[in-house]
Structure 1
Amino acid sequence: MAEEKRRYFSTPIDVKHGIIDLTHGAGGRATAQLITQVFGKYFSNPILDEGHDGAFLPEIKGTPVVSCDAHVIRPLFFPGGDIGSLAIAGTVNDVAMCGAKPLYIAACFVLEEGFEIAKLEKIIESMARTAHEAGVQIVTGDTKVVEKGHGDGLYITTTGFGEVIPGIHVSGRLAKPGDKVLISGSMGDHGMAIMSEREGLSFGSKILSDSAPLNTMVEAIAAAAPHVHVLRDPTRGGLATTLNEIAAQSDVGIMLNEASIPVHSDVAQACEFLGLDPLYVANEGKLIAIVPEDEAEACLAAMKSAPHGEESAIVGTVTDEARGYVQMTTLMGGVRMVDWLNADQLPRIC
């Protein structure tokens, strides 16, 4: 039996030229080869290597946090990342925005018949690299294959598990008048990277997605600003929509300062060309922190010193006026409303 098992798993899969077919999702030899020789090659860890249908996790000592996400981005590969790195970073960030330390990820893959195994391996490698950066383990998962024409190459769903950082309590309902609003960098990079790639547009320099795990930054914020009230990542709908959600949840007003909001020049040019507002464009490696005024400078310093935070800035103030609304002092010195996003400017960006 042992010899048969070695022979069963030793049959090489053709990574370079092979394609996914329905047998890879049927649960037999082809499925075992794909899992062992592609997924297992990059995801191996003691929990996953047990080979169970699920995962036996060590005891989580703090308050547990769980978040799930589905990733249907088009194209699968884009400047600055791919669906694999995006899936891990997005899930890590969703857990981290709860004021938690991400620990484990479960990942499920829906593959379309005909998808190139070489592309799949590249995506799996990217996931493993991002998980390593974030310090999380991929501990269980599932693979399904659908008929050609019934998918779009690859979809990935992920579930992240973590534990709350001791002493931290954040919520979209906790913003208070006088708090300062901070962001960890330039707005709109991810959405414009996707749109530029889709449409074959060039704006002098290649716009790169900001997709990145931010859990290290969250831990730095927790240490520097222990009374942080809100943490959010401004993904779909961008900064403007996310702040409107917070203003409504906390029943406060928010006043932004346009001059303080970083936007890369190539992103600004692309948005102007396409008739888009960068404040509503998705980000996948940025966060919003709302903290008491007396902790704002320490929080800013911590964000700037953390990976992916060198362009962090204080961009606004929470007020007790115009409750439920976001406003902005413009570059011209006037004030304008920054309303909710009424429609999806850029579909399938994550």
Structure 2
Amino acid sequence: MNTDHSSSTRYWHALENGKLQCDLCPRFCKLNDGQRGLCFVRGRVGNEIRLLSYGLSSGFCIDPIEKKPLNHFLPGTPVLSFGTAGCNLACRFCQNWDISRSRYTESLCDSASPEQLVRTAVAHDCRSIAFTYNDPVIFHEYAIDVAKACHQHGLNSVAVSAGYVCPAPREEFYRHMDAANIDLKAFSERFYKNICGGHLAPVLETLEYIYHQTNTWLEITTLLIPDENDTDREIAQLSRWIGEHLSDEVPVHFTAFHPDWKMMNHRPTPLDTLQRARMIAREEGLKYVYTGNLPDPEGNTTYCPECNSPLIKRSGYMILDWALTPQGKCGHCGHRIPGYFEPTPGHWGSRRLPVNISRQ
């Protein structure tokens, strides 16, 4: 592990005016010596751009895999989760703003090498390690090194990301990811520009790339914010795009917003908005649509699209009933359910267990 917590990076080039342009994400930050990009963890040091948070984290925790959320990837199993600091978007509603908007390396109070992370995951019977809480795109080199260590020890790597990344680093990154949940924040350029400080098109490109050109298991999450991205029309357009450009079998999660960061004046998302979104998405042909962040037994349940039998009943992150065959098929009609399923589900439940990596 790098004792100075910095690492060389590949995705940048020199400009004629003497600045260096970061080519990791579509922000294309142009930096003088000593400057950092918007993400804050990548900065210019001399004549190169370096990752300045390699091996550092804002904390480690064992979560249920359903919390990522992933409902079709090793249900019921525990996942070692961690993030760093900073982000390459500037979402006004960020619900992890104390981490993603952090500008202080003091918030990165924990450290771990890829090998320490793997040892900890194995010691706690985790099946996966997840890069989450803030976007792993910005700690690209560290995340890939952890993913490589995972694969050497039979663990899976999981990326929870907004998908805001350029083509070349995207290709390298997802070559090492076993599963991903991409946060499709809305289906309008207005929302991305005014509320996230980004653009919609690169995210759609990432979704298409992951689904069509990688073996990474993909699920999608959209946080619905009242009066911002929750109209019937936009939800239908988003759902239709997924069905036409990806597949009607990609699991989609509609989750509830609660006021935070710079959108404290907005009201929380009511349950009926999530239920309405789920109904619209199913009417558009999507087969696996879920609700999250609010109690909703029907919206938490996986149904067979062929015979409509409940196959995985959940209460939040807890699995209550399991009707899949050991081969991942509907136990009633035999229809194959897409995903990565083991013969029996895990039993981690809804526990959240903070861990101290330094003691491993």
Q: TM-score normalised to the size of structure 1?
A: 0.26
Higher relative contact order structure (alpha carbons within 8 Å, sequence separation ≥ 6): 1
Q: Which has more helix, going by share of residues?
A: 1
